[in-house]
Amino acid sequence: MTDTPYRSGRGEPLVLLHGASMSWRAWRPVLPGLEAHHDVLVPTLAGHRGGSPWPEGEPVGVAGVADDVETLMDRADMATAHLAGNSLGGWVALELARRGRARTVVALSPAGGWRTRTDLRRLVWSFRLGSALGGSSAVRALAGRPWLRRVMLARILERADRVPAADVPDLFADMADCAILRELLDGAATHGGLAPFASLPCPVRVAWSGRDRLIPWRRHGVTLRERLPGAEFVRLPRVGHVPMWDDPDLVVRAVLGVTAAATTPQHLEETPA
């Protein structure tokens, strides 16, 4: 069943894009802080649990995911919007900026910047392992214990014990039920990562999680400096790959610091990456 994209708040439009094998629910912890300033649209990406079904016969890849987000933005009457994305969602946000759909972009540990095929293979196997764990009823039962959940999800969350117990079943179901995960990962190996920009069409902040174990900065982030000329790079301390659960307030500040600066000069005091 396809979810209706979450929408709430008032102000300039802001679209939030989650990572691979997740859903719109990954943004729940930061919604109150962002809705106070923006008209927030949070879709589930195509081919993910609750997202639009992937069109039959269409090749699976980031371009197609971006196509679907554009369709949802059109339906929401958002010709352009501020975009914030995590992991795959960060990559998609940057591709939408390339298409002229972004007012600003905040990319939280964006995918698409691996340096070698070995780096990509490690990432592929991490996602495949996560999908297998998410589909195990025994693992899901153990994840009900906060300290075990923290151990099991250490590659994506620094403090998985902070995920409310009521949200744990959806988190694991999202991991298990991403219909396009295998093809998406295979396509990344075939088509490559984020293509370089000659120049950025809007303000871009790349905010890398300081304790990202899934796509660490040195193996996946450094190359993005060359591909994103003029982007701002900052480090978000003490958070994992999906920082929204680890430190919601920090993520809200990272996003609002950019969206507000589009009209009012502001500065986020974070450690440069």
Give the model confidence (pLDDT) of 155-198 as tens digits. 889 998 999 988 988 888 898 888 888 888 887 777 778 999 99
Lowest mean pLDDT segment, chosen from 129-133, 139-143, 261-265: 129-133
Pairing of strands 6-8, 38-42: antiparallel
Question: Which amino acid belongs to residue 81?
Answer: A
pLDDT for residue 259 is more than 50: yes
* Structural contact between residues 70 and 78, judged by C-beta atoms closer than 8 angstroms: no
Q: What's the whole-number average pLDDT of the chain?
A: 88
Q: What is the pLDDT of residues 55-74, one digit of tens each?
A: 888 889 999 999 999 999 99
For residue 189, being part of any structural domain is answered with: yes
Tokens of 27: 């943004």
Confidence of residue 268 (pLDDT cuts 50, 70, 90): very low
**CA dihedral sign, ordered 85, 185, 20, 244:** negative
* Structural contact between residues 178 and 131, judged by C-beta atoms closer than 8 angstroms: yes
For residue 252, being part of any structural domain is answered with: yes
Predicted pLDDT of residue 87: 94
CA 102 to chain centre: 16
Q: Which residue has tokens 């010709």? A: 79
Q: What b-and-e string marks burial along 176-207, b requiring 16 or more CB atoms within 10 Å of the CB?
A: bbbebbeebbebbeeeebbeebeebebbbbbb
Interior angle at CA 272, CA 155 and CA 246, nearest 5: 35
Q: What is the pLDDT of residues 192-233, one digit of tens each?
A: 789 999 999 999 999 999 999 989 998 889 999 999 999 999
pLDDT for residue 122 is more than 80: no
Confidence of residue 267 (pLDDT cuts 50, 70, 90): very low
pLDDT for residue 81 is more than 50: yes
Selection from 266, 270, 272 nearest residue 251 by Cα: 270
For residue 264, being part of any structural domain is answered with: yes
pLDDT for residue 45 is more than 90: yes
Q: In which domain, by residue range, is 71 found? A: 6-272
Query: Which one is predicted more confidently, 167 or 101?
Result: 101
pLDDT for residue 50 is more than 80: yes
DSSP state of 153: T
CB atoms within 10 A of CB 128: 14
Rounded Cα–Cα distance for residues 205 and 117 (Å): 26
Interior angle at CA 196, CA 64 and CA 69, nearest 5: 25
For residue 1, being part of any structural domain is answered with: no
CATH number, position 41: 3.40.50.1820
For the chain, the domain total comes to 1
